[in-house]
Amino acid sequence: MLNRIKNLVDMYFDDLPYSENAVKARSAIENALIEKFDELREGKTDEQAFDALVQGYGKLCDMAALAGYDADESESLRATDDVKRFGATKKDIRKQRGKIYGIALLGVGASVELFWFVYALINAPIQSVFVLLIAAGLGVGAFFLLRSFVRRERACVSEKYDRRSFEYLRDLADMYVKRRLNGTIIACIAVGAFLVYFTVIMLFGHSKPAEASELLLSNMLWLEFPIFILIKNRLCFDMIQRRIKTADKRRFYKHFIGVTCFSAGYWVIVATLVGTLRNRLGYPFNVFMIAGAIFAVFYAVYVFVWRKRVTVKNIAVNRRRVAVVTTAAVVGVGFFAMQRDTWYTQTYINSVAAVEHAAHDISYDDDSGVYTITSATDDFKILHLTDIHLGGSLFSYRKDLKALTAVYAEIEYSKPDLVIVTGDLCFPLGIMSLSFNNSAPIGQFAAFMRNIGIPWAFTYGNHDTESMASASQDDMNEIFKTLSFKTSGTLLYPYIQPPVTGRNNQLIELRRADGSLNTALFLIDSNAYTGNGINDYDYIHDDQVEWYKQNVERLNAREARTVDSMAFFHIPLQEYRTAYELYVAGSDEVKYFFGRNDEKMINKVCCSDYPSKLFDTMVELNSTKAVFCGHDHYNNMSLEYRGIRLTYGMSIDYLAMPGIEGDMAQRGAELITIHDDGSFDLEQIPLDTIVSG
């Protein structure tokens, strides 16, 4: 019967304008009718008592009189002359919500600038004045917005709303009940992740307080975002509750405190476990992934079982919003996961045995950045590898393993004195490998070569530092330097670079036992893209050509003769295309040695559309007798044109091109044997001739 009485009251009040007075009157009338019903029940059945209640108080004015309201007060509940319509209500809410966003943004910004002010006051007093001015400006802006917001909120307490406005506000109230609970959970997760990152990684990795403080401030976004969410949701929640009283605040705050305590406690426990066991965990991030999955289950149970006690519509499905949020979450998580370092091939790398080879003396000049190899044998063997394309992800693990196994087979078979990789060691493009990470594959290959024990050198390809890759060009340069000769004893990567275009341009001098120069090895960066479009490949620039020319002339002067040299880079020169077209035409201007050009993805020869002066300079100087490149995975032809041997390297790639995993004819390497008199022999080593499958 109590529900029938409540429904009776609802029937009248649902058509009345919503106001705070109406809410109070509704509650008072409902209580008065219940008391009257209890009186009427004496000597009657419940049905008889309810019928008597309806007959005596079936009109709103009679109900109001029973609750102590006079006729004027009763009539005022029906008045519609000062009712706020839906359009005005919606406009008002939008304006106030805009102010809330501004208050939250400016407030958080001012707080962060105050932190920076304290830091600058200690480390850069002059700069601290500017930081303080910025903080003050943001704070003043937040203050004026807050004052305007509060003035409007004070005026809205006694407002009436029509039915459509009420339903709109009720839906918003429901939304902000949910957002406050969800925002609290997001804040707990973000703050927990930040604290783990800072304490476990930063505090244990940096002994200087100044460095730790700077890193803390540099990563304040982890705290700024959840604080912004908390402020924004709190103000929006209060704004709606000030207009309509739909939420039981006491019950809501019980949920709010419970969710906060559980979330904070849960992530503190997870963070503590990660911090305690950090030295035993191979992949700490995986612990957070598992903990996050378990937490998601807990929260799902809460949403479907308990949250409905503080909402009118517990689950309101907005398909467009769900699609946008889900897409954003998948993209965000996927992008983050695709940039992570993963070391799935490490077990194989650790099992690789050293390959027997001749021992040569290697030295490095800290001033010039030049490595010198003094050969202990008459013949010096260089194995040319290209386009290995390591993905570095779980998705590419099987193909990465095949690529490393193929490289090992080539090295074990040829037993070279030096390995030169002409680019595209990794493939951080996102497609095929589902990875944007380029630092882990480099580290893996460096560890692989360190275990083999044979010196190696590297020149960049177009894929090694893709724009979406986790490590930038500068990052990769630093990574290579940390892995280079002084650390590994195998990687011949220069610690300084010449002041010319490119990511790595270096000279390696191969000398005889008596110290005389046998052959100069130039590793030149053919760069990546021009930035003018997809596959608009860059070229070897004029300042690089000038650097090459100056070094050849310097060596010629020092040796008192024209020195022999070879050049290695990734993207073929335009002369590769010219020589191939002459070969197809049957011209005697070129001399064929071996190989085929079977490239089929774009062009037969995928060179840059921009001409480089390098080839003409090589012809002019008459020093470089052989050039080696990669890039075109199905091309492995070797032609001589204008006195220079132009050779494509056989690729290793199992990953980057569709269907290439099953193709074998193009896969392999080249063995360059440089004799004591500077002459050389060149031999292809197809992989299918030394391994099966």
- What is the residue-wise DSSP string for 226-277? HHHHHHHHHHHHHHHHHH---S-HHHHHHHHHHHHHHHHHHHHHHHHHHHHT
Domain termination site, one of 263, 294, 311: 311
Reduced to 3 states, what is the DSSP secondary structure of residue 18? strand
The C-alpha atoms of residue 619 and residue 567 are separated, in whole angstroms, by: 13
Alpha carbon 603 to its chain centroid, in Å, reads 33
Asked if the structure places residue 316 within a domain, the reply is no
Q: How many structural domains are present in the chain?
A: 3
Same domain, yes or no: 92 and 64: no
Residues 89 and 136 in one domain: yes
pLDDT score recorded for residue 214:
56
- Among residues 585, 586, 588, 580, which one has the least CA distance to residue 607? 580
Asked if residue 497 belongs to a domain, the reply is yes
d(CA 531, CA 234): 46
Mapping DSSP to helix (H, G, I), strand (E, B) and coil, where does residue 555 land? helix
Helices (H), 67-162: 71-78, 86-123, 125-155
Query: Residue 72's CB: how many other CB atoms inside 10 A?
Result: 7
Regions of the chain where pLDDT drops below 50: 203-204, 206-207
Q: Which two tokens stand for residue 273?
A: 């476990």
165 plus 257 within the same structural domain: yes
Radius of gyration from C-alpha coordinates of the chain: 37
> Do 187 and 250 sit in the same domain of this protein?
yes
Domain-located, residue 419: yes
Residues 616 and 685 in one domain: yes
pLDDT tens for 244-296 read: 876 577 888 888 888 888 888 887 888 777 767 766 665 566 677 788 788 88
Task: Identify whether 642 is part of a domain.
Answer: yes
The answer to whether residues 266 and 370 belong to one domain is no
Per-residue pLDDT at 619:
98
Tell me, yes or no, whether 61 and 91 share the same domain. Answer: no
Residue 333, pLDDT score: 65
User: What is d(CA 180, CA 173) in angstroms, rounded to the nearest whole number?
Assistant: 11
* Judgement on whether residues 298 and 388 belong to the same structural domain of the protein: no
| Residue 333 belongs to some domain of the structure | no
One domain, residues 570 and 465: yes
Which domain-ending residue is among 78, 113, 138? Answer: 78
The boundaries of the domain holding residue 460 are 346-689
Cα–Cα distance measured from residue 594 to residue 650, given in angstroms and rounded to the nearest whole number: 12
Report the DSSP beta bridge partners of residue 529.
537
Say if 448 falls within a structural domain.
yes
- Name, in order, each residue with C-beta under 8 angstroms of 454's C-beta and a sequence gap of 6 or more: 355, 357, 411, 416, 417, 418, 419, 490
Q: What is the pLDDT of residue 269?
A: 83
In this structure, which amino acid lies at residue 625? K
Boundary of a domain, candidates 254, 288, 311 = 311
Is 256 among the domain residues?
yes
Same domain, 44 and 151: no
74 and 90 inside one domain: no
Give the E-state strand segments of 375-497 in sequence order: 380-385, 418-422, 456-459
pLDDT in tens, 119-174: 777 777 777 888 888 889 999 999 999 999 999 888 887 778 888 888 888 888 88
Looking at the structure, tell me whether residues 74 and 89 fall in a common domain. Answer: no
**Residue 198 domain flag:** yes
First to last CA, the chain: 83
